[in-house]
Structure 1
Amino acid sequence: MNKHAIEIQKLYYGFPVILVSFYNRAGIPNLATLSSSFSLGNMICLGFGRGGHAIGAIREVGQFVVNVPDRNLMEAIEICGYSSGAEHDKFALSGLTPVDAVQVKAPLVAECPISLECEVSHLDEEGGYVIVVGSIVQRHIATTLLDDQLHLKNEAVDPVYFVGDHHDRAYRYLAQQQADQKGTFLPARNDVVWR
């Protein structure tokens, strides 16, 4: 495989699009579209631009919800990404529905199949960005994504991925109903014990 060493400003190699919901200091719910996130166990990390409305509200309130939309919500994803929460009520603008959370003071998005209630653990500012490290305190998963034993049906999850560079960015989608179990591609070997 030939490769080029290139100089580019950004590279999005495939991050799930999320809708982060929160209340501002006045108790008004709002949303932000994000693609910079990862989670490990009960820890979640989000990346925000330093001057945005969402990070200001999350900094003040200290709680938020990470909502994972599917491809049926593309219009809402873009509305929330192309408008400012300082100027608009993005729930009203996008037609999404805020629902009370169980453990945090932040709304869930009713239309998103996965919602994670979170509390801010700490903030780290780096250049023009703010990294939010949070604790996941409650998970909500649509019944359509769960089997009879309340285990996640991996093949049913339909996230939207954000890919591209500084020149052009796009959305990518998974093929639904297709998933391979972890370990499926390990070769049979006598000299290695796969863990």
Structure 2
Amino acid sequence: MIIDPSNLDATSNYKLLIGSILPRAIGWVSTQSKSGIANLAPISFFTAVGRKPPVVSISLQPRSDGVTLKDTFVNIRDTGEFVVNMATLPLAHAMHRSAFEFESDVDEFTAIGLEKADSVIVKVPRVKDAPISLECKLDRIIPMGGMNDHVVFGEVVRFHIRDDVYMDGGRIDTGALQAVGRLAAEYTLVHNAFTTPLDEELLSSFRGKRAGRLDGHADGYSPIDSKEWSASGATR
């Protein structure tokens, strides 16, 4: 199948992107409005883009109506600050709930039942139980296309790393984190690791094998087929 994206609408292109770029790291972004209302949102268009200074990027689409700017974007634009928290298996459901489109005057930490922790440099609170959080100052915003999509770059001004996963030599014990990533419209648990080459017999055992499910849904299920899904990264 060869597909020309210029013949597709934004939703169709979005489906192909999120099903092709796997797994995607989740930037669980906390922000705060100018009036002090805290917001949380999982952003799976997220990556590192610089080293010295350390810089990360998040890409934000509008709300599910396709027009209204998300609170995450508005808060970063207006305050110049945000925090990226790591999503892990014990926090996965709370992270998923933070994808729902709350009203702008709702403190999402309170609505979801998550405890805040103070940051050091920025005013934005962190997710207390997240093993890793990155305090960020806005570097730049780049509009993408004409659909209210934006790429936000932020300089990491403080790393918060839980003591038990910070190892000698400045390395993070990734095997202890139970990190959660994003597939198309589902999540995946990072629960194995390898280096190459692998034994041919082991490789053969994986050929044609489908990923297992942890949630009891039938093989092939996807939230994309449900009315709750939207091509904005938000859950309706």
Q: Calculate the TM-score normalised by the size of structure 2.
A: 0.68
* Partner SS, residue 186 of structure 2: strand
Residue 5 (structure 1) aligned to one of 2, 7, 19: 2
Structure 2: gaps of 5 or more residues = 5-11, 63-68, 199-236
- Counterpart in 2 of 1:157? 177
Q: Does 2:29 correspond to 1:20?
A: yes
**After superposition, where does 1:80-95 map in structure 2 within 5 Å?**
80-95=98-113
Identity of aligned residues (%): 27
Structure 1: gaps of 5 or more residues = 187-195
Q: Does 2:85 correspond to 1:71?
A: no
Change (3 A) 1:87 1:25: closer
Normalized per residue, which structure has more strand? 1
CA offsets 1:72-122 (integer angstroms, 9 cap, x no match): 112211210013251522101111111110111211110111100000011
- Counterpart in 1 of 2:46? 37
CA offsets 1:101-146 (integer angstroms, 9 cap, x no match): 0111211110111100000011011133111011001101112322
Asked whether the 8 Å contact 1:30–1:89 carries over to 2, the reply is yes
Distance, in Å, in 2 between the alignment partners of 1:46 and 1:85 is: 22
Distance, in Å, in 2 between the alignment partners of 1:134 and 1:148 is: 27
Amino acid of the structure 2 residue aligned with 1:5 = I
Distance, in Å, in 1 between the alignment partners of 2:38 and 2:171 is: 31
Distance, in Å, in 1 between the alignment partners of 2:114 and 2:3 is: 40
Q: Does 2:193 correspond to 1:179?
A: yes
CA offsets 1:133-166 (integer angstroms, 9 cap, x no match): 11001101112322355531122232211112xx
Asked whether the 8 Å contact 1:29–1:98 carries over to 2, the reply is no
* Partner SS, residue 39 of structure 2: strand
Asked whether the 8 Å contact 2:39–2:71 carries over to 1, the reply is no
CA offsets 1:8-64 (integer angstroms, 9 cap, x no match): 422222212221111110122221221111113201111112411111111000011
Amino acid of the structure 1 residue aligned with 2:59 = G
Q: Give 4+ residue runs of structure 1 displaced > 6 Å after superposition.
A: none
Change (3 A) 1:117 1:85: farther
Asked whether the 8 Å contact 2:94–2:112 carries over to 1, the reply is yes
RMSD over aligned Cα atoms: 2.0
**After superposition, where does 1:116-131 map in structure 2 within 5 Å?**
116-127=134-145, 128=147, 129-131=149-151
Normalized per residue, which structure has more helix? 2
Asked whether the 8 Å contact 2:83–2:126 carries over to 1, the reply is yes
- Counterpart in 2 of 1:191? none
Q: Calculate the TM-score normalised by the size of structure 1.
A: 0.81
Asked whether the 8 Å contact 1:101–1:108 carries over to 2, the reply is yes
Residue 100 (structure 1) aligned to one of 118, 133, 147: 118
